[in-house]
């Protein structure tokens, strides 16, 4: 085999912002993934709390969409674990997305500086809008009325 004369061009740098979606319902996670990727975001999906926790530490996402009820570690336990690691939450806005509106959970989420949103109240488009606002990205498509 001949030695390559020309160096292989470097892979294009992926400078898309990364959103980590921690959600165990595959239909819901796919829904967010499709919408967010269509707006030019890179999406990593993790279906259990432990994997999500590892992914936060490994990938340093720009934003975390966090379900509460997940196997292994709940969303709030994940936040607690990160806090225990002295994680700097100012580097990663957290949106807790859940379908149980529990005032105690809401307070806990807010104490970590996270938003607390009921999934059923928002379309994926609305979630995308909120994410883009938080990440300071201009929306790709005009907002539907």
**What distances in angstroms separate CA 135 from CA 1, 8, 13, 61, 128, one per listed residue?**
48, 34, 20, 11, 10
- Closest contact distance (angstroms) between CB of 4 and other proteins is 42
Q: 9 vs 12, 26, 82, CA distance in Å?
A: 9, 37, 38
Question: Which range, of 14-22, 47-55, 56-64, 116-124, touches other proteins by CB under 8 A?
Answer: 116-124
DSSP code of 52?
H
CB 50 within 8 A of CB 73: yes
Q: How far is the CB of 72 from other proteins (least distance, A)?
A: 19
The tokens describing 120, both together, are 């059923």
Stretch that binds other proteins, among 6-14, 44-52, 54-62, 123-131 (CB under 8 A): 123-131
With CB under 8 A as the contact rule, the residue among 18, 31, 44, 47 that binds other proteins is 31
Integer Cα distance of 145 and 103 in angstroms: 31
Q: Count of residues binding other proteins (CB under 8 A)?
A: 43
User: What is the per-residue binding string for other proteins in 33-62, x denoting contact by CB under 8 A?
Assistant: -xx--x------------------------
- The three-class DSSP label of residue 104 is helix
Which positions touch other proteins (CB under 8 A)?
Answer: 25, 27-28, 31, 34-35, 38, 80, 83-84, 86-90, 93, 99-103, 107-108, 110-113, 115-116, 118-121, 123-126, 129-130, 133-134, 143-144
């Amino acid at each position: 085999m001949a030695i390559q004369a020309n160096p292989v061009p470097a892979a294009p740098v992926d400078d898309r912002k990364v959103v980590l979606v921690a959600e165990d319902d595959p239909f819901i996670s796919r829904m967010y993934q499709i919408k967010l990727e269509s707006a030019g975001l890179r999406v990593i999906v993790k279906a259990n709390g432990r994997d999500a926790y590892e992914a936060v530490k490994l990938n340093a996402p720009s934003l975390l969409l966090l379900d509460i009820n997940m196997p292994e570690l709940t969303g709030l336990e994940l936040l607690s674990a990160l806090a225990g690691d002295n994680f700097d939450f100012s580097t990663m806005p957290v949106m807790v997305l859940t379908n149980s509106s529990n005032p105690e959970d809401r307070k806990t989420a807010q104490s970590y500086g996270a938003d607390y949103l009921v999934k059923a109240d928002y379309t994926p488009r609305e979630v995308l809008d909120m994410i883009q606002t938080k990440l300071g990205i201009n929306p790709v498509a005009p907002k539907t009325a």
